[in-house]
Each structure stands twice: as structure tokens, then as C-alpha cells.
């Protein structure tokens, strides 16, 4: 079994959204419950630390950081209709980003093989200059910069399978060929970005890969997309580290989407990325949770990902499907200009 670290802390409950908000503290309570009972050989808890302002400044404007910091001790602050802060949101957001950085330190030190940061608030919608879509700081974008700055790694793969497009992450690396951003998402859907022809710009052209999927897609289509596009592109990119923006709001039970993934799909996607990490990045991989709003579906999926992270890169079964589904072949056609597919 591989050694897998996880970050989870009751302090992640201290960011409070208004009543009825899907991104709620109960998500962490449910994960704490899960981890009380979840047993697996080689599983270790990693203690989170707060991210520093310097670390955040790799990705965010100082004004944005200051604006979030200024919400501390305010009972309620509204960034936009979806995105709120309570009195302890700033410290929780620092701990959310820092939790992922602590996990990365453990992977890089060799204390663990890979890991999963079970944190909130989530991050992938947060832009350089603003909070957005339940996200205050962009955890995975800061993590990619941290790997480059702190550890001198040259090529980072970010796979974002959250059901929403990670606009903030895409924009962070849109002109950058050292970070390959790949996103599967329901389309059209919030936040509206992530179209097929968003490919990156300047030297980053080709290093943004969007797989916009129609409502109703599920395990079969996702697994096919991983076989035909995600894995071949990732292998050509030859990453030094694999990061996953792991949202579980594409689960068939989740109220925020019409994508129909199940635990089988999440496990297969993990397996595929694990084999990329094994063959290219010395196994180094870290996932961070983004969305996931049906508590049982989310915790069950997290458990499946943690199970799979322990396996020594078992290669994924090829899909049985004879024909490529429409959206996957459309992405393939456009990506053939950049990648040998």
C-alpha cells in the first residue's frame, strides 16, 4: 500500500456561510465522521498550517488579500451573491490553502507518497483580484506556484474534475506553459467559462485543455475522456507533480449539477492520474477538495479516492465503449493541433 496523507481539522468548520448555503460547515463535520471510522493501511493525518501572505501573493493581488483579511471579526461580509465571509473566514481560508501546502511539504520530504487535503473554503473560482463562487483564495493555484518557487519543479499538472469550470485556476496560468490545466465540467453551467476554444495564450497556448460536457454525462464518458485525452496529454506534458482539484459535485446525487458520476468514476479518474504520477512524477500527487454538496455522496466518494490513492498504480481497465462520444471527439479534434492524440 502507498502511504497517503490527509489534512482534515475541525477548524475548517469556522467559515460560516448563511443558512441554506450548500457550501456549509456540515461538510467538514461529515468528513470528520468519515475519518473517525475510515481505516486503511498507510494512512496518516498531516497537520495543517496557515498559508502566509507571501505565499498567497504568488497568485493574488495584495488588495484582494487585504480585503479578505478585513472581514475578520465582521459578523458577515458579502463578496457576491454566492460568496460570503464570517468573522473567522480569513483565518480558515489561510488554513485551507496552508493545509494543501503542508501536505505538499510531506510529499516532497518523502514522508508520504501522495495525499488529500479535505479543507474548506474551496478555491478554484477565486481570481487574482476577487473572491468568487464560494472561494476566497485559490488553493490549487497557490500550490502550483509553491511547487515551482519552493521546490524548483518545472512542470505541474492540475486536473480539475469539479463539475464547475475552475475559472480562477485557468486564468492564473493561461499564458504559462509550465502548468498544464485540464478541466472536465458541465457546460454550459456556472461560471460560464471553460469552452472548447479556451486553449491558453502566448506561450501557454495549448496548455489549457477544457472538456465541456453536456448534462447527463457520467462514469462511462468521463473514463473514456481520461483514456483518450487526459492521460495521453498528461503523459506528453511529463509532469513533475500532479495536483487534483477534486470536486464531488459531479456525483449523480449532487444537487448542483446534472452530471451523473458515481464513486466508480471518481475512483477510475484517481487511478488514471496515479499511473501518470507513478510514471512521470515519481508518484508525487496531491488532491484538494473543491465542491461536493450531497454529504453522503461526497464522503463515500472521498473514501473511494483515499482507497485508490493507496494502490500501487494499478492500470485502469480500458472502456468497453466502441465509439467515442460526441463531446470527447470534439475535444480530441481541437487538441490534436497541440498534442499527439
| Residue 195 to residue 334: CA distance in whole angstroms | 12
Smallest gap, in angstroms, from Cβ of residue 191 to Zn ion?
A: 9
* Minimum distance from residue 19 beta carbon to Zn ion (Å): 20
Q: Which is nearer to Zn ion, 99 or 123 (CB)?
A: 123
Rounded to a whole number of angstroms, the minimum distance from the CB of residue 51 to Zn ion is: 21
What would the grid cell of residue 226 be?
Answer: 481520461
Q: Which residues have C-beta within 8 Å of that of residue 250, sequence separation ≥ 6?
A: 161, 162, 163, 184, 186, 257, 259, 261, 265
Identify which of residues 277 and 298 has a Cβ nearer to Zn ion in the complex.
Answer: 298
Which is catalytic among the residues 60, 124, 125, 165? 125
Edge-first strand listing for the sheet containing 179-186 = 43-45, 4-7, 114-117, 285-289, 241-246, 156-160, 179-186, 208-213
Residue whose CB is less far from Zn ion, 113 or 249: 249
List the grid coordinates of 299: 464522503
Cβ-closest residue to Zn ion? 291
Q: Could you confirm whether 124 is annotated as catalytic? A: no
* 139-151 vs 89-109: helix crossing angle, rounded to 10: 40
Residues that bind Zn ion (CB under 5 A): 162, 164, 247, 249, 291
Least distance (Å) between residue 256 CB and Zn ion: 7
Choose between 134 and 173: whose C-beta lies nearer to Zn ion.
134
Active-site residues, by number, are 125
Amino acid at each position: 500500500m502507498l502511504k497517503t496523507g490527509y489534512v482534515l481539522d475541525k477548524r475548517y468548520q469556522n467559515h460560516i456561510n448563511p443558512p441554506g448555503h450548500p457550501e456549509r460547515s456540515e461538510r467538514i463535520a461529515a468528513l470528520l465522521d468519515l475519518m473517525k471510522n475510515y481505516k486503511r493501511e498507510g494512512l496518516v493525518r498531516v497537520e495543517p498550517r496557515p498559508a502566509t501572505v507571501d505565499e498567497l501573493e504568488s497568485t493574488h493581488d495584495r488588495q484582494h488579500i487585504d480585503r479578505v483579511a478585513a472581514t475578520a471579526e465582521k459578523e458577515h461580509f458579502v463578496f457576491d451573491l454566492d460568496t460570503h465571509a464570517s468573522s473567522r473566514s480569513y483565518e480558515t481560508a489561510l488554513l485551507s490553502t496552508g493545509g494543501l501546502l503542508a501536505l505538499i511539504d510531506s510529499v516532497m520530504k518523502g514522508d508520504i507518497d501522495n495525499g488529500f487535503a479535505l479543507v474548506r473554503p474551496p478555491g478554484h473560482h477565486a481570481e487574482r483580484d476577487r473572491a468568487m463562487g464560494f472561494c476566497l483564495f485559490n488553493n490549487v493555484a497557490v500550490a502550483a506556484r509553491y511547487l515551482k518557487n519552493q521546490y524548483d519543479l518545472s512542470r505541474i499538472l492540475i486536473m480539475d474534475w469539479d463539475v464547475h469550470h475552475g475559472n480562477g485556476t485557468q486564468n492564473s496560468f493561461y499564458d504559462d506553459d509550465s502548468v498544464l490545466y485540464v478541466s472536465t465540467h458541465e457546460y454550459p453551467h456556472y461560471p460560464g467559462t471553460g469552452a472548447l476554444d479556451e486553449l491558453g495564450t502566448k506561450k501557454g497556448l495549448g496548455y489549457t485543455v477544457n472538456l465541456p460536457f453536456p448534462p447527463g454525462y457520467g462514469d462511462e464518458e468521463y473514463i473514456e475522456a481520461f483514456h483518450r485525452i487526459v492521460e495521453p496529454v498528461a503523459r506528453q506534458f511529463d509532469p513533475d507533480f500532479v495536483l487534483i482539484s477534486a470536486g464531488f459535485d459531479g456525483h449523480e446525487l449532487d444537487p448542483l449539477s446534472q452530471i451523473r458520476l458515481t464513486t466508480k468514476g471518481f475512483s477510475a479518474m484517481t487511478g488514471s492520474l496515479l499511473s501518470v504520477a507513478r510514471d512521470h512524477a515519481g508518484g508525487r500527487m496531491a488532491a484538494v477538495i473543491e465542491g461536493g454538496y450531497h454529504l453522503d455522496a461526497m464522503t463515500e466518494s472521498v473514501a473511494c479516492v483515499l482507497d485508490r490513492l493507496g494502490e500501487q498504480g494499478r492500470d485502469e481497465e480500458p472502456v468497453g465503449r466502441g465509439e467515442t462520444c460526441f463531446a470527447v471527439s470534439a475535444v480530441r479534434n481541437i487538441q490534436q493541433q497541440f498534442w499527439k492524440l
